Structures are given as structure tokens and as C-alpha cells.
Structure 1
């Protein structure tokens, strides 16, 4: 037997059914205000937008940084190739290798990774804090104060962190230089029985390198302690507001604010650590720019025609050919040349007049005279005083490309091929 009952409410309608002496009641469920497919569409489109935006952002950031890195690398390579010879006498090769190796590697790999992480994490934290402040408007003032304190702590610690990273890189370069120098002169070191001296120096350099590396890591822990303390203050402040504003804000909104702020406080120390690493890795860019700025160009005194890589026009080439020496008469007028030290004694002092077609021999106690003679003639080093004339033309007024193309040098090498002739 089925009994139809009256509608008890406006939204529901029930039926009572008698089955085996029991009454069964069925109640109609309320209708949803929106269809389910609308929620699914919004969620799916949000996922697609986030995915596409993340891919575009990562690709664009990587391409932009790689382009800047390539420009810096090419500029540094061109400056190094065109540097005068005394630059390579004064600088250790390990420093050049460190610029082209470690610093370029950090700019290519570490900088884009940390920069993308900082941008994404910073934007996410700002949105979450704004969400909490929209739920509790009174929380805006504590949020501004705590954010200012975080900025002060980060600026105070990161300033020293960058300097520690700079000294860490310098000490690492010194260790590499010491190892390369020791290995190249190992036979002399063993001959004079100075193994203990070089081992002691190596230990000292390793201690300095380890000390700076340890202090750099401890600076991150210092930032973490300060940030964690401020995060505890932020959470306690929000919980107090939730308790004292009970009934004004719904329980669901209060729970959302507390969970969101806890996520911010959990993620913030990691974000600041990665931000500190990012600023530390940017010191590699500063070292590259400093290296480029301190390298002089060998062709800096030439005309703009030889300073670029463009091929000369026909009129410019004809003008060059007209001013080329063709006979080969060389005249040295009070030439003084310093090869190694700018303040030391000159390595070459020469006054000579070599007529065209003559064969001469440079005789000295060592090979320095021959090398200095060719260095001065080919302008590997600029003269301190005096002039060199070739067929009456001062070589200092010639372009380097023109000067070195008209002089043929046959190097003296004992070996033509390595290995057997076959």
C-alpha cells in the first residue's frame, strides 16, 4: 500500500511507501543552481591557461637569457683574441678559463633557473597575501609591517652573501691557478725539494676557500631563522584576529585564510634562499663585465676601418695598396721597448738602418733580442719612445692588418708533424 503525503516544504517532495510493515520515505534532492559542466569547463580552461602561460614564460625567459649570455660570450671572446700580448703576460690563464668556463656556465644554467623560480614564487605569494587581506581587511597593516621587516632582513643578509660569493669565486680561482702552476713546474719543485712548501700553500688556500664557502652557507641559515620568526608572528596575529572576529567572518573564510597563510609561511624561507642564490650567481655576470672592461683592444689606435670586421671597399683597398711598403728598407730611430713591466728597464734599445734587400742577423746572449725585434716591428707591443720606418712609412700609422700582411715570418720549429710521416 502506498500513501501520498502532502508537501512539507517548498523545495522537497516525499513519498511514503509501506513494504513488509515498514514505512519508506523518499525525498527529492534540491536542484543545483549551476550545471556541473560549467564547473568542469572553468577548471579545465584554467588548467590549460596555466599550462600554456608557464610554457611560454619558461621558453621566453630561457631564450632571452641565452641570447644575452651569447652576446657576453662573443664580446669577451673578441676582446680576448684582440688583446695585446702583454695582457696574456700579466694575467694567469686560469682566470681566463674561469671566465669562459664557470662564469658562463652559471649565467647559462643557474641564473635562468633561479630567476624563473623567484618570479613565479613571488607572484604566487603576493596573490595569496592579497587573498588573506581581502578576507580580513584589518590584517593589511600587520602584513605591510612584516613585509617591510622581511625586506630589511633580506637586504642586510644578501649584501654580505654576495660579497662572500665573490670571495668564494676568487679563492676557487686561486686554488686552480696554484694547482696548474704546481703541475707545470713539478720537476723544478722536486729538484729543489720544495714539496712541503707547496703542499702547505695548497692547504692554506683550501682553508680560505672552505671558510668562505661555509660562511656563505651559514648566511642562508641566518636568513631562514629571521624569516621563520617573522612567519610565526604573522600566523599568531592572524589566528588572534580569527578568534576575536568570530561571527563576523564565516568559518569557511577563516579556515581558508589560515590555510593560505600557513602555505605562504612554509614556502617563504625556500623562496628567499633561492632569491639569495640568484643574487649570488649574478656576480658571475659582474665578473664577466669587469673582465671585458679591463681588456684593451690591440687595434684601439687604428683607424675605424680596421676596427670593424667589414671588408674594405675597392677605393679603400686601392688607397691601402698605394701606401704599402714594397722595397723593405727598415729604419729604427731611438727605439725603446718594454715587454713585461711598464716601469722596468727597456727590453730593447736599438738604432739601426737596414737597406732594402740586405740580409742581417740579430745576435745576442739570449733569444729576447730577436723576439723584441720582431715584437716591435709587428707592433705586438707599442713602443715607449722612437719610431720604426719601413720604406719611409712609420709603422705606427699603418693598420695592423696591413702591417702584418706585408711582413712574412717563418717560425723556427723542430717538429713539422707529430707522429710518423705516414
Structure 2
């Protein structure tokens, strides 16, 4: 359709030229109405053809780019969320992810469609200009060849440099986002230590680095402008000289040729800029494609292996020689872990910081995949299950409570599975009923981002209520009471004892008094099992690591 537009555009100019040269109309004035109407109708048809072709080409292009941007954004979002978390989020700065979801997606939505349209229009306009000049003065082709070679060299030099400058500019923008978001998150600490000036200077330095990449880009634009003006002026010069040097020049066609030649400087300039912009902005697609190729988690559902609706029925868990490492180049965090947990047992997991306690819990949910070994839950190897089938049957109360913007009810029951009566019962068992009743809209109270209008302890209790609603056979408590006071901690422990009496409970804790009522205690050191026995047996062995931990905590003398 863009080619059709140029055809109609050039055709209308040629037709206008023919109209102005018609000897009958010049001789008789406007007396020949039939011929005038013929010229006018054909000129009108050519103009209508331009309008229709531009309209159709624009609509098709915008619909196509909109569809493409939508697909690429969905790929970016899905693959980033489903990406292998420990391999991607741990090593990718938040600013880089924000830059991709903002600047690169904006390039897809707003910049690339215009670039593509302008590139098509200007490239065909240049070809149309060269065609018109060459049609009127064929000898111009001899001059156009060396000018085309010079133009090509200038264009490749500029585009190669500009593309790298744009990439540097884009890369230097991500640290600004990252530093700014980190500064906002740590505002209270920055003020407390009086480091406002230091962080302002760091921010200015990162902006300065970004401008250092931006300034050469402007200089390269001026470099290009001078050379394109020179090539454009040479085209005008040769077109004019060769046109008037013809033996019998046609005044209207010479005028048409010169008119087109006068426009070529603008077209050439715009063509190079659009080619450069397209190449530099297509880097956004390249980056989004990189995110689309991220290593992914296992499939969400596996039709070959779907557990029964009641799985796990007993809650027995068996670790067989489990080895885990977060990335291939890091040391293993679990080393040949082999333990067996009976259904309904209460297991306490202790160990110093960095000994593999949280990693032990993460392997159950396959947040981190095993490098070697197996985990069997109720006679099913969890590696054979889809992630949804596995994670929806287990419950964890994490160390850092996670809440989302929205109503309190949505945070407790995101899939709307339970009645208000069941939710109130869970809230009561989590010792939050009185507090929620005091809120303006009780269950429909609006939470701020991350639940910041609740204290950390209250957020932890909401996570407990969420766990009570799910009633899973396997419950993992990862430092679940670390952010609550001792009185609330005692209430939570009593709730867990009574409401999860028949469940398998794995408690990961620093405070030893919270796990002393466990059936058995697992002590980890360096990712390996050093003690795994009843509390009384471990305390009776004064050489055990657990005994030393209990003595330092004041539980034994």
C-alpha cells in the first residue's frame, strides 16, 4: 500500500504536469469543459487513491505492530514471572527489569510503529525522487551511482556508531532507576545516618554518566546532517544542470524534476535517522527476546501425572540423598540430605545462619530444583508433578509475610473458594478477629502496597489465617513467629497445635523454645544432617550441637 501511495503521488504530479502542458487548453482557455473535466476527474481519482492507500497502510501497520507489541509484552511478563527465580532475580538488578518493562515496552508500543511507517514512507519517497529525475534526465543515473556509494558509506558509519551509543545510553539508564528505587526503599536509614548528600551525589553521578552517553549521540547527529546536506545539494545541482542541458527541455517536467530534487535532502536525512532509530529501538525487541529465553520453571501442570484430590493424605516426607545448589558455579547448600518424616510428625529444623534451613523448605516447593536425589511425599516423587499440583497441596508461612494491594478478603482467599463464615473462623483462630472488626470495612478493608498499613506481626498473623483456611496436610513454618511478641507467639503455637494436630509440620526456627514440643528435631550444619532425634535424646547428649545451642539459649544449664 505504501508503494501504491507513491504510485498515485508520482502519477498525480505527472498528470498535473501533462495538464499544464496541454496546448488545447492553453490556446482556448477554459472553453473545453469536457477535457477539463477529464483531467480533473483523473486527478481526483489519483488523489483519492493516495488517501485510501495511506489510510489502509497506516491501519494495517498499526494493527500489526499493536498485535506484535501485545505478544512480546505477554512473553516478557510470563517468562519473567515464571523465570528460574534464583538464577534470574538474584543476579538481575531491579532497575534493569524496570527499564525493560518501561522503556523497552514503550519503544514497542509507541516508537517502533512510527519508525517503521516513516522508514517505509521516506525510502519509497527517495526512490520516487530518483525515478522522476532519472525519467526526465536519464544521464542523471551516472551521477546517482557515486552519490549512492558515498551515501551508503556515510549511512553505515553513522548507524554503527549511533546504535552503540544508544545501547550505552540505555544501559546507563538502568542504574539510575535502580539507585532511585533503592534510595526510596531506604529513606529512613539514609536520614538516620545523615547520608542524604552522599546519595544525592551518587544519583547525580549516575545521571551524569547517562548524559555522557547522550551527548555524543547529538554530536553524531550533527556529523550526519552536514554530510547529508552535501549529498542532497549535489543531487539538486546535477538534476538542475542536466535538466537545462537537454536539447529540447520540457518546462513542466524540468520543474517537476527540480521540485523533487529539492525535497531529497530532507528525505535522505529522515531516511537515515529512521533507519538508525529502527536499528537502535529494535534493540528493545532484542532485550525482550532475551527475557523470553530465560530458563523457565517446570511445567505448571503435567497431564501424565495428576495426584488424587486428597493427596497428600498422610503427609509423609522422605528425602533421599538430596543435593541442592542455587547456581552451577556455587557451592551446594544441601549435601546428600537423607531423612524420613512420618505423616503427622512435628519436626523442628534448627541450625545457624546459612546452614541450609530455608533451602530445605524451598526444595519441597521446587523453588530450587534438586541437583541429585529425590523427595517422596506420600509415595509420589514430587519431581514428576506439575508445579501447581505440588504447591497448591502444601502450605508455607514464610519468614517475610507477603500481602498484595487489594482487600483483606482477597489476600486471605484470592480464589474466592471459601465463605465469609469460614474466613472469620480462620481469622479468629489466628487471633486477628477483634482487630479486623475494628477496621472500617472489616474483611473488605483496603491494604496498601505490600500491606504497609499493617505491622509486620499483623501481616504474619494474616498469613497464618491464610494457612488455616487451606487446611493442607503439610505445613512449613519458616521463622513464622520471628516478627511477633512472645505472647502472640504462644497463642500462635497453641493454634498450630490444635488446628494442625493431624498435619505434618516442619518448623524452621531460631528461637529454640518454639520447637521444644516437636516430635523430632533436625539440626543442619553446612547443608548436612548432624543431629536428628527427639528433643529429650538430643538434650541428654551433652556432646550434641543441639545441646550446646540449648545451653547458649538458657534452656539447659
Classify 1:366/1:28 alpha carbon distance in 2 versus 1 (closer, same or farther; 3 Å): closer
User: SS in structure 2 opposite 1:90?
Assistant: coil
**Partners of 1:225 and 1:148 in 2: how far apart?**
17
**Partners of 1:30 and 1:402 in 2: how far apart?**
85
Q: Where do residues 50-129 of structure 1 align in structure 2 (5 Å cutoff)?
A: 50-86=50-86, 87-129=88-130
* Farther off after superposition, 100-109 or 235-244: 235-244
Classify 1:223/1:346 alpha carbon distance in 2 versus 1 (closer, same or farther; 3 Å): same
Shift of 1:94: 2.3
**Partners of 2:80 and 2:253 in 1: how far apart?**
62
Contact 1:135–1:257 under 8 Å retained in 2: yes
**Partners of 1:226 and 1:407 in 2: how far apart?**
68
User: SS in structure 1 opposite 2:249?
Assistant: coil
1:363 aligned partner: 350
2:230 aligned partner: 229
Classify 1:411/1:195 alpha carbon distance in 2 versus 1 (closer, same or farther; 3 Å): closer
**Partners of 1:67 and 1:265 in 2: how far apart?**
34
User: SS in structure 1 opposite 2:321?
Assistant: strand
1:274 aligned partner: 274
**Partners of 2:75 and 2:193 in 1: how far apart?**
43
Shift of 1:263: 2.0
1:387 aligned partner: 374
Shift of 1:395: 2.2
Offset from partner CA, 1:378-399 (integer Å, 9 cap, x none): 1110123433222343322333
1:152 aligned partner: 153
**Partners of 1:235 and 1:48 in 2: how far apart?**
30
Classify 1:393/1:242 alpha carbon distance in 2 versus 1 (closer, same or farther; 3 Å): closer
Contact 1:362–1:369 under 8 Å retained in 2: no
1:212 aligned partner: 213
**What TM-score, normalized to structure 1?**
0.81
Shift of 1:34: 5.2
1:264 aligned partner: 264
Contact 1:224–1:273 under 8 Å retained in 2: no
2:177 aligned partner: 176
**Partners of 1:222 and 1:81 in 2: how far apart?**
43
**Partners of 2:439 and 2:31 in 1: how far apart?**
94
Structure 1 spans left out of the alignment, 5+ residues: 1-26, 307-311
**Partners of 2:290 and 2:309 in 1: how far apart?**
41
Contact 1:223–1:273 under 8 Å retained in 2: no
1:22 aligned partner: none
Classify 1:28/1:81 alpha carbon distance in 2 versus 1 (closer, same or farther; 3 Å): closer
Contact 1:161–1:276 under 8 Å retained in 2: yes
Q: Where do residues 233-248 of structure 1 align in structure 2 (5 Å cutoff)?
A: 233-245=234-246, 247-248=247-248
1:38 aligned partner: 38
**Partners of 2:112 and 2:65 in 1: how far apart?**
8
**What TM-score, normalized to structure 2?**
0.62
Classify 1:275/1:28 alpha carbon distance in 2 versus 1 (closer, same or farther; 3 Å): closer
Shift of 1:279: 2.3
Shift of 1:173: 0.9
Shift of 1:414: 10
* Farther off after superposition, 98-107 or 33-42: 33-42
Contact 1:106–1:281 under 8 Å retained in 2: yes
Offset from partner CA, 1:39-61 (integer Å, 9 cap, x none): 22112212211111111110000
Classify 1:333/1:266 alpha carbon distance in 2 versus 1 (closer, same or farther; 3 Å): closer
Classify 1:110/1:29 alpha carbon distance in 2 versus 1 (closer, same or farther; 3 Å): closer
Shift of 1:33: 9.1
2:472 aligned partner: none
**Partners of 1:248 and 1:344 in 2: how far apart?**
83
1:297 aligned partner: 296
**1:421 paired to 2:434:** no
Q: CA RMSD in A?
A: 3.0
Contact 2:323–2:334 under 8 Å retained in 1: yes
Shift of 1:70: 1.0
Classify 1:252/1:409 alpha carbon distance in 2 versus 1 (closer, same or farther; 3 Å): closer
Shift of 1:290: 1.6
1:16 aligned partner: none
Flag the structure with larger Rg: 1
Offset from partner CA, 1:192-225 (integer Å, 9 cap, x none): 5544543443233222200111112222222111
Classify 1:28/1:173 alpha carbon distance in 2 versus 1 (closer, same or farther; 3 Å): closer
Classify 1:156/1:406 alpha carbon distance in 2 versus 1 (closer, same or farther; 3 Å): same
Offset from partner CA, 1:244-292 (integer Å, 9 cap, x none): 33x4323443333222211223433233223322322221111111222
Equivalent residue pairs, number: 381
